[in-house]
A and B are shown apart, each in its own frame.
Chain A
Amino acid sequence: ETGVTQSPTHLIKTRGQQVTLRCSSQSGHNTVSWYQQALGQGPQFIFQYYREEENGRGNFPPRFSGLQFPNYSSELNVNALELDDSALYLCASRDFITDTQYFGPGTRLTVL
């Protein structure tokens, strides 16, 4: 148990729709990152939030956006869903003392 939770567990959407995924970070961790993992691949960095500000972004289009709240929980929003957005979405919270990042169980998104 990492203390990082994500919801929902699974989600099915159709092309063109919008989706919001949620993450609660481990207590005391003020940095959260989001990753996309396509089937058979390693996770790819989407972006990172630190104290409610985005402070790092991977090679993802602007239709991928996020928020971090004062309690350090976070949302990932994806607009205009495409078939290739089907993946496991993982969030991770960072322990600044040890540099370790702890991952949640993920949200499996299927776009039809």
Chain B
Amino acid sequence: SQQGEEDPQALSIQEGENATMNCSYKTSINNLQWYRQNSGRGLVHLILIRSNEREKHSGRLRVTLDTSKKSSSLLITASRAADTASYFCATANQGGKLIFGQGTELSVKP
């Protein structure tokens, strides 16, 4: 079963705009990871945020984590057509097992 939900399920924006995706989860976590997937291929790791962190940046990516609300968000700034993909959040327990959400399908139009 899935850990939680991602919102929205699909997002369509113009190149240059920002994209925000949200993720909610149900149980306590060790860390939360965001992944990108292009057209049913393998998952590309984007960023990991630990349960004791609130915000993390990597290039055009900004991730926040609110453990009291059991939620996280991924912001992609100045989006590009190449950012078109499915984005998944995954929570990890101490054993390393990842539990994924359903994903957000992002479409960036040139």
Contacts and interface: CB of A to CB of B under 8 A. Distances in A.
Contacts of A58: 97
Interface in A61-84: none
A88 interface: yes
A41 B43 CA distance: 13
B43 A44 contact: no
B110 interface: no
A31 interface: yes
Given A99-B92, A101-B33, A41 B99 contact: no
A42 B95 CA distance: 20
Q: Interface size for chain A: under 10, 10 to 19, 20 to 34, or 35 or more residues?
A: 20 to 34
Interface residues of B, number: 26
Contact of A42 (B44, B45, B96, B102): B102
Interface string A78-112: 00000000001010101000111111111010000
B98 to A, nearest CB: 6
B63 to A, nearest CB: 14
A42 B2 CA distance: 8
B96 A99 contact: yes
Given A33-B98, A43-B43, A102-B45, 9 more contacts: A33-B96, A33-B97, A41-B102, A42-B2, A42-B90, A42-B103, A45-B97, A45-B99, A106-B41
Interface of B: 1-2, 30-31, 33, 35, 40-45, 48, 50, 88, 90, 92, 95-103
